[in-house]
Structure 1
Amino acid sequence: MSKFKKKKKGLPALSTASLPDIVFMLLFFFMVTTTMRETDLAIENPRLPQASEVKKLERKSLVSTIYVGKAKDSKYGDGYNRIQLNDKIGTPEDVPAFILNERGNQAEEDVPFMTTSIKADKESSVGTLADIREKLRDVNALKLSLSTHKGSNIPK
């Protein structure tokens, strides 16, 4: 019989000393990269029309969005022609002030690259959209994007 027994060597225990560091790095990463929604919709989520030719906007920080649709609250009236500019319901006459305010928030060299995006419900009146376009023309905001879903309305 031997005096010394050989011990079986197994795997060493997994060290969890660096686990809190990893968790805090992930937490910090998601806190830095996450963006919060800037506006609360006062109109119902617009049901966007479909289009066959769709292009994504490049720099979303240079996009000013105008929502057109049915108001969630009945105090703003019925119908699909309510206009939301940032967090408030407005009229086409409020659009120039909204655009000038958005330009003031951007750097001077970025102003020529600003785009106005209109997210209008399918049921919205073309007259309302034409009024908005006219007011945008008055303040020389000529880059316009109409938001849509990719698809086709044309029956096959």
Structure 2
Amino acid sequence: MSKFRKKDKGGLPAISTASLPDIVFMLLFFFMVATVMRDSTLMIENRLPSADQVEKLKKDRTIFIYAGKPSDLYKQFGKEPRIQFNDAYITVEDVQSSVIQGINDLNEDLQSRVVIGLKIDKETNAGLVSDIKQELRKANALKVMYIANTKTDKL
């Protein structure tokens, strides 16, 4: 008989799970950083008009102004169309100062290329839109875009 025996291979060793928590937390942090959160809570009804030629722009240099009737949760503010900037109702007179503050909050290299996005409900009268545009001119925010749905989108 031989003094030395060959060992049986016996199968694969167990998979080490020591680094599994590190991988899970790394994925968690990645998705927390990469996920875009909603900027503001919509306090108005916002049924956008439809358009057949729509162009998508980057949101990093866009400031949004909403206009429309208060939604069902905010009926205590009446039934007249209101202007919403970020998470608050503002008046026409406050548009200029709010936009200037919003531009100043942006990154310095984006401040000169800022675009104002108007998300106006299709039931809102044109007089309010005209007043908003006049205040934007006073704030020297001359790049304005109107946000609309494409004809294929559901309203």
- Which TM-score applies when normalising by structure 2? 0.83
Gaps of 5+ in 2: none
Gaps of 5+ in 1: none
Aligned residue for 2:15? 14
- What root-mean-square deviation, in Å, do the aligned CA atoms of Structure 1 and Structure 2 show? 2.3
**Aligned equivalents of 1:140 and 1:95: distance in 2?**
12
1:128-147 deviation line (CA, Å, top 9, x unaligned):
11111111112211101111
- Structure 1 residue 68: Cα displacement: 0.9
- Equivalent pairs: percent with the same residue? 46
- Structure 1 residue 8: Cα displacement: 7.2
Amino acid at match of 1:77: G
**Aligned equivalents of 2:20 and 2:70: distance in 1?**
48
**Aligned equivalents of 1:128 and 1:61: distance in 2?**
26
Amino acid at match of 1:70: K
Amino acid at match of 2:89: I
After TM superposition, list the pairs within 5 Å mapping 1:36-115 onto structure 2.
Answer: 36-44=37-45, 46-58=46-58, 60-72=59-71, 73-79=74-80, 81-115=81-115
Aligned residue for 1:29? 30
After TM superposition, list the pairs within 5 Å mapping 1:97-136 onto structure 2.
Answer: 97-136=97-136
**Aligned equivalents of 2:18 and 2:144: distance in 1?**
54
- Structure 1 residue 82: Cα displacement: 1.1
Amino acid at match of 1:98: S
Give aligned pairs, total.
147
**Cα distance 1:17–1:142, how it changes in 2: closer, same or farther (>3 A)?**
same
**Aligned equivalents of 1:30 and 1:110: distance in 2?**
25
**Aligned equivalents of 2:34 and 2:108: distance in 1?**
25
- Structure 1 residue 74: Cα displacement: 2.0
- Structure 1 residue 9: Cα displacement: 3.5
Amino acid at match of 1:67: Y
Question: Per the alignment, in what secondary structure is the counterpart of residue 36 of structure 2?
Answer: coil
1:72-99 deviation line (CA, Å, top 9, x unaligned):
31221104x2110111111221110111
- Structure 1 residue 14: Cα displacement: 2.9
**Aligned equivalents of 2:67 and 2:27: distance in 1?**
38
Question: Per the alignment, in what secondary structure is the counterpart of residue 35 of structure 1?
Answer: coil
